[in-house]
Structures are given as C-alpha cells and as structure tokens.
Amino acid sequence: MIMKFVELKKHLQSNNIYHCYNIFGDDSFLIDSSKNMFYKYSNINNEFDKIMLSAENFNPSNILSMLNTPSFFGGNKVVVLSGVDKQKNKDVLKLVEDYSKCPNPQTIFLIVSNEQLFDEKKFADKKQYICYVDCGRLEKNFLIAWINKSLAEKSATMTDTAKQLLIDYTNQYLSRISIELDKLIAYSNGNIVDDDVKNIVEKSLEYSIYELTENLANGNSEKSLILLNQMMQDKKNSPFVLSLIQNHFRRMFFSAISTKTTAQIATELGVKEFAIKKAKQSANLFSKIDLKNIVSLCDELDYNIKSGQTNYQNAVYFLVMSILNLNKNSKK
C-alpha cells in the first residue's frame, strides 16, 4: 500500500497499523513530520523508545535484535533506519523479509529513503507487513492550506500572490516554506506582501531554470539574460546551470512525445513526478521539433566542453542565445 503524506494521519487514526513503513521522498519537513506522527501514535514520551539508526553502519543482525527486544518502559517503540539507499543497501530487502516472518507487535519499523525502496509486486505476499509513505513535494492546494494555518497561529496575514511567490521560489518544498515563512513574518511585522517575498526569499536554482525557460519561450531576451547572469554570477550554482537546462529540456522533449503517464515517465527517467509535471507545463511552450533541436544542441555543447573545443561559460550563453533565435525563427 502506498499513501501520500496527507493521508498518514487518517491511516494512523484507523489503527490498521503495519509493522514496517518505508517513508520516502525529498521533503525533509514531511519526513520529520511523519516520524513525529508515529511517535505520537505510539504514545512515546521518552527518547529511550525512539531508536535512531543510520544506514552507514548497517548491520542486519543488530537491527533485528533492536526490533525484537522489548521497549524500555514496556510499551511501544519506534525504530528508525535513516539514509537508506536503494542501490547501496540492498540487504535492507532481506532484513524486512526476515523481520516480517515474526514481527514484534510493540515495534514500528520506519525505513527512511529518498525513493521508494521495494517493488510492491515482490512484496505481494507480505503486503500486510509493509506500507509506503510518499513524502514528495505536496500539491499547491495543500501548501496554501498549511501556510494559512501557520499564519493564523501567528496572527499574521499574507496576500494570495505573495503565497504563490513563496511556493514558487521554494519550489514547493515545505521544508523551505516553513523556514522562509518565519523569516517573512518577522521581517514584515506579520503583514506579508509580494515585495517582502521578492526581497527576503532566495529563489531556488530549479525555479530559476523554470523561469528562464518561460522567458526563452516567450522570446524575452532581456529578462532571459538577466536571469542567466544572476545564476552564472552565483559561484555555488553556476557549475550546475548547463546540466539543469539540459536535463529540463530533455524531460520536456520526452514528455512532449510520450503518451505515458507522469508517473511512468518519471520512473523511466529516474526522476521525481514533480519534475515531469513541471516539464509538461514547460513543453507546451515549444514545438516538438524545437525541443528536439535544443536537446541535440545541449548534447553537442556538452561534448564540446568535455573535448576542450569550448569553455563552459561560452557554451551556456551560446545555448541560451540559440534558443532565443530558434524560437524567433519558429514564430516567423
């Protein structure tokens, strides 16, 4: 069974609890919130019955022993195995299989990873033992609801457009939204407007790529170059600009020509569904032929950089100018 984070509270209230959960996704706020919900459900008020383990020191026999020993005070306990990698920690699969043969009814085992670890088909005969909690980025309507609740708790206000800007700038990560919202409330004395977000919240690099793509599609050369200059002047982010543009356009092209679902495309490309949703939105701004030509140009420039025929910065600017020219020619 796979559930979204927003379904977890209702699931716990049903008391139909599994022995093992794979909590996966890329939003750390949701992952931490999930763990806290399990602690609350298990009525754990002490640190002794919150067993925190790292996959770096993975030892199946030790973990099994911890899972099967009684809790410190005789009640329930939660064992958390964090940082699990699907490729590096393949033994986790066997660990869950071994544990599912005779699980401890007083223990809930949480395995935290960036992506879903196990194929449901392989675990078909053990589906009563393991459940999956998707902590990927939430849809905007849930984020708006969370922001409204947080504002109300702190007697603060925020314009609807400012909420939208905050969600866009943080690329829908609740982990960032929660931090930035506290800063905005303090900065604005509780009355947040658009300019507060623009002045305080740093745009994520991913959002800047989406913004650049939109301006390239609209032929806005001045704004496109302003955005590109900002990214290239950031020493931390500049080395990733070309690869992010290249990957985004590749996903756009694949989304434009594929008849598969968002989830299927994400699985094939090895990315999150969120990235494909964004790619589909952006792909509508370009023709399929233009997308194919841009992907080919990205590959060519990548080869030229690696073979020493051009330098990185020249390649990035040449790519952006080429897309602008390509788009102008397509609209003639």
Per-residue pLDDT tens digits for 29-73: 999 999 999 999 988 877 888 999 988 888 888 899 889 888 877
Claim to verify: residue 240 and residue 265 sit in the same structural domain: yes
Claim to verify: residue 257 and residue 175 sit in the same structural domain: no
Please report, for the domain that includes residue 158, its CATH number: 1.10.8.60
Claim to verify: residue 193 and residue 256 sit in the same structural domain: no
pLDDT at residue 57 in the model: 80
Count Cβ atoms below 10 Å from residue 64 Cβ, excluding itself: 15
Claim to verify: residue 124 and residue 173 sit in the same structural domain: no
**Lowest mean per-residue pLDDT among 130-139, 212-221, 261-270:** 261-270
Q: How far apart are the C-alpha atoms of 8 and 18, rounded to whole Å?
A: 12
- Indicate the residue among 200, 219, 236 that finishes a domain: 200
Claim to verify: residue 225 and residue 311 sit in the same structural domain: yes
pLDDT at residue 87 in the model: 76
Residue 191 bridge partners (DSSP):
157
- Indicate the residue among 119, 134, 149 that finishes a domain: 134
Claim to verify: residue 9 and residue 118 sit in the same structural domain: yes
Q: Which pLDDT band, with edges at 50, 70 and 90, does 125 fall under?
A: low
pTM across the whole model:
0.81
Unique residue bearing structure tokens 């990698």: 85
Render pLDDT for 159-201 as a digit per residue (tens, 0 to 9): 999 999 999 999 999 999 999 999 999 999 889 999 999 999 9
Claim to verify: residue 110 and residue 161 sit in the same structural domain: no
Please report, for the domain that includes residue 120, its CATH number: 3.40.50.300
**Lowest mean per-residue pLDDT among 167-181, 234-248, 317-331:** 317-331
Claim to verify: residue 10 and residue 129 sit in the same structural domain: yes
Domain extent for 16: 2-134
Please report, for the domain that includes residue 326, its CATH number: 1.20.272.10
Claim to verify: residue 226 and residue 308 sit in the same structural domain: yes
If one counts the domains in the chain, the total is: 3
pLDDT at residue 70 in the model: 83
pLDDT at residue 126 in the model: 59
Claim to verify: residue 6 and residue 130 sit in the same structural domain: yes
End-to-end CA distance of the chain: 52
- Indicate the residue among 134, 167, 182 that finishes a domain: 134
Q: How far apart are the C-alpha atoms of 21 and 265, rounded to whole Å?
A: 25
pLDDT at residue 329 in the model: 61
Q: Are 130 and 100 in contact (CB under 8 A)?
A: yes
Q: What percent of the chain has pLDDT over 70?
A: 95
Rounded to 10 degrees, the C-alpha dihedral 84/117/10/275 comes to: 90
Pairing of strands 77-84, 191-192: unpaired
pLDDT at residue 263 in the model: 85
Claim to verify: residue 180 and residue 270 sit in the same structural domain: no
Claim to verify: residue 121 and residue 39 sit in the same structural domain: yes
pLDDT at residue 302 in the model: 93
Please count the residues of the chain: 332
